[in-house]
Amino acid sequence: MNLPELDLNGMISFLTELLETPSPTGFTEQAIQLCEEQLAQLPGIVLERTRKGALVATLPGETEGPWRALTAHVDTLGAMVKDIKYNGRLKLTKLGGFAWNTVEGEGVSVFNRFGDILRGSLLITQASAHIHGQDVSKSERSDDNMEVRLDARTKSDLDTLDLGIEVGDFVAFDPRVEKTEGFIRSRHLDDKACVACVIYAAKAIAAAGKKPKVNTVLHISNYEEVGHGAAAGIPPQVSELVAVDMAAVGDGQTSDEFHATLCVKDSGGPYHHGLSQRLRALAEEYRIPYKVDIYPFYGSDGGAFWRAGGDVAVALIGPGVDASHNYERTHTEALIATADWCLAYLLN
C-alpha cells in the first residue's frame, strides 16, 4: 500500500506562517488558533481545548480499537520582562533552556497587556566595541548582562512604563525564516516543524478519503519547553503515544538534516521498546529514510506524560534539526520523512 500524497507546498506554507507567529511558552493562543483552523477542515474531527490551552483534536478511525495519540508542541523559547532598568532598557528572564549568546543581537517583540507590540534588540550591556574594547568579547553572557534596547525614545524606567511595558510582559525572538536549496532556516523549528508534519499527515489522509486505523488524538501542547506540556490532555482511552519532536544534530549523533529520527533514549531514560520497534518496521516497509539516536540533554512531551502517571507506550520521532535551541535549520527531506512516518503510523 502506498502512502497518501503529502501536500508539501501547503505544509511548508503553513510552517512558515506558524514560525512567523510568536508563541513563547505561556503566550501561545494565536499559534494554537492557527492549528485549530487547519484541523477544523477535517471531516468528523472533534476539537477541544484543555484548561491550560492545549489543543486536543480527535480523529475518528476505521475502528474504535485501542486509541492512539500523536503529540507535538507549538510553544517556543522566549522570555518575559523581569525588570525595567534605570536607563529604560529591559532585563529579561528566560522561558525554556537556552544560552544568551544564541540570541544576542536578535530582534525582539515585546507584548504589553494592552495589545501593543513594541520592537527592540537583545544586546549585552557592554555592546559597543568602541567604548568597551576587548571587554565586549570577554564579558559573560548572563541574566544580569543582557538587556533589550527598545526602539523608542526612552531614557528612564518612567519613560518605558509610559510605553505600557510592565514586568511580566512576554518577549519573542524574531524567527528569521528563510528557505533556500531545500533547507528551512529559522528559530523555533523546535517544534513547529513537527506540528506542521502532524497536521499535514492528517490532512493527507482526509484528502485521500481515508481514516486512521483507530481513533486517534492529535495533541498540540503549549508548555513543552518548560517541562509539562503533555502532562495533561491525553484522553484516558489512549493506549500509546508517539511524541513528534525535533532530532538533535551534532557531533556524536547519528541524526542529520535529511532523515527522520527515532529517539530510543533521552535524559529521562529509554522509550517503549515495542512501540519503537513497530515504528522502525513501518519506516522500513514504506522506505522512509530514518536514523536511530540517543539524546543525553533532551526531554519530550512523551516523558512529561509518563512522569504525570500516563500508563501508555511512548515513542519519539522527528526531523533532524541542526543547531537546536539556536538558529536552527532542517531540510524538506527530513520533514517529508517525518510526515510520511506519521502517515504510516496513523494508517497501520
| Residue 65: Cβ-neighbour burial (10 angstroms; 0-12, 13-18, 19+) | middle
**3-state SS assignment for residue 128:** coil
What single string gives the DSSP state of each residue in 190-220? HHHHHHHHHHHHHHHHHHTT---SEEEEEEE
3-class secondary structure, 63: strand
* 285 assigned ligand-binding residue: no
Residue 106 a catalytic site member = no
Residue type, 111: F
Give the active site residue among 20, 36, 147, 224.
Answer: 224
First to last CA, the chain: 10
Phi, psi (degrees; rounded to nearest 5) at 256: -145, 175
From the number of C-beta atoms within 10 Å of its C-beta (0-12, 13-18, 19+), residue 113 rates as exposed
User: What's the grid cell of residue 313?
Assistant: 507506550
Largest Cα separation within the chain, whole Å, is 69
273 among annotated binding-site residues: no
Q: With residue 184 as reference, give the H or E element that holds it.
A: strand 183-186
Residue 116 known to bind ligand: no
Helix (H/G/I), strand (E/B), else coil: 289: coil
Cα–Cα distance, 305 to 239 (Å, whole number): 12
The annotation status of 174 as a binding-site residue, yes or no, is: no
Compute the Cα dihedral for 313, 311, 255, 23 and give only its sign: positive
Beta bridge partners of 244: 317
- Point out the residues that are catalytic: 224
Task: Pick out the residues of the known binding site.
Answer: 73, 190, 225, 245
Task: Tell me the binding residues for Zn(2+).
Answer: 73, 190, 225, 245
